[in-house]
Copies of this chain bind each other. A is one copy, B any other.
Amino acid sequence: MTRLTFFGTGTSLGVPIIGCKCRVCSSPDPRDKRLRASALMESGGMKILIDAGPDFRTQMIRSGTSHLDAILLTHNHMDHVGGLDDVRALNYTDRHAIEIYAEPRVVSSLENVYAYAFAEHKYPGSPIWHIHRIDENPFVLRPTASSGQLEWVHDKGYFYRAADGTLRETGDIDAATERPGEAPGGVVVTPIRGMHSKMPVLGFRIGNIAYITDMSSIEDSELEKLRNLEHLTLNTVSYGPHHSHFSLPEAIGLARRIGARHTWLTHLSHNFPPYEEFVKELREMTGGDSVLPAFDGLVIED
């Protein structure tokens, strides 16, 4: 069984937008309150977060999530990585390093944005991450047990208890990425390559659910990875063409080509009407229920 909970379904500024008085930003429907795009996937007993934007803390607390086995990053824009400092809370309460899976170019960006997390001598309380470098090829996830792997040293922050028993300051920032076939078991994640304007980004498939956000194009060859899906998410921010996101017609066209049983639209903006109206509009456009808007808190499973 694979389950996906939408932690956030909004565009980079969220919905409502600060100061905006439009009818979507003023809508009382909770389904029109959209935090920044993020999703929790659950499979093989693991909790796997896709992206950790500025609403990470809020999303973890409101969903009652207190453990993460991995964080997968689609790309390095702030609305997708701006909450990575806040994983420190899990370092404290769950006592282990946070396993982060990202492309080398995304890791390079994190090294600038979160330089203190990569420092040899860290500021006390800095986040402790294990960075796994990935590419378009499938990789394997295994559960991360809550453990005493991290130990608090007064006024000096958390230190990493390595396998040889020594306390290390930085943790193993560079962790190995396991590939399918290396050992039995685990959950296989299949990255999907796409472009966000000129920036390469990744989507992720686990079981029969695929999560795609922040794409404006995808090569036909990658569609092979999206066969026989129960659920697919696709991003769109506007009716008309957009330089870095699928337009609504593009998203609907792509949903048809991929042919998942259900396609859920995410990264939505106030350019679309309030939820109920948007559902009606999509039913008219597609002649059915196969393409619908996602909303924060929606749970889908297969």
- Interface of A with B (CB < 8 Å)? 12-14, 16-20, 54-58, 60-61, 65-67, 78-79, 82-83, 85-86, 88-90, 92-94, 112-115, 124-125, 155, 241-244
Contact = CB atoms under 8 A, between A and B. Distances in A.
B19 A90 contact: yes
A93 B17 contact: yes
A57 B14 contact: yes
A13 B92 contact: yes
A67 B19 contact: yes
B19 A125 contact: no
Given A12-B125, A13-B92, A16-B61, A86 B54 contact: yes
Nearest to A20: B93
Nearest to A242: B155
A54 B83 contact: yes
A125 B196 CA distance: 14
Contacts of A57: 13-14, 18, 54-55
B90 A18 contact: yes
Given A13-B92, A18-B60, A79-B85, 19 more contacts: A12-B125, A13-B86, A13-B89, A17-B89, A17-B93, A18-B89, A19-B65, A19-B67, A19-B93, A20-B92, A54-B54, A54-B57, A55-B57, A55-B58, A112-B115, A113-B113, A124-B243, A124-B244, A155-B242
A55 B83 CA distance: 10
7 contacts: A19-B67, A19-B89, A19-B90, A19-B93, A20-B93, A54-B56, A155-B242
Nearest to A198: B123
A123 to B, nearest CB: 8
A238 to B, nearest CB: 10
B82 A85 contact: yes
List of 9 A-B pairs having minimum Cβ-Cβ separation, nearest first: A19-B66, A19-B93, A18-B89, A155-B243, A78-B85, A18-B60, A13-B89, A17-B89, A113-B113
Nearest to A67: B19
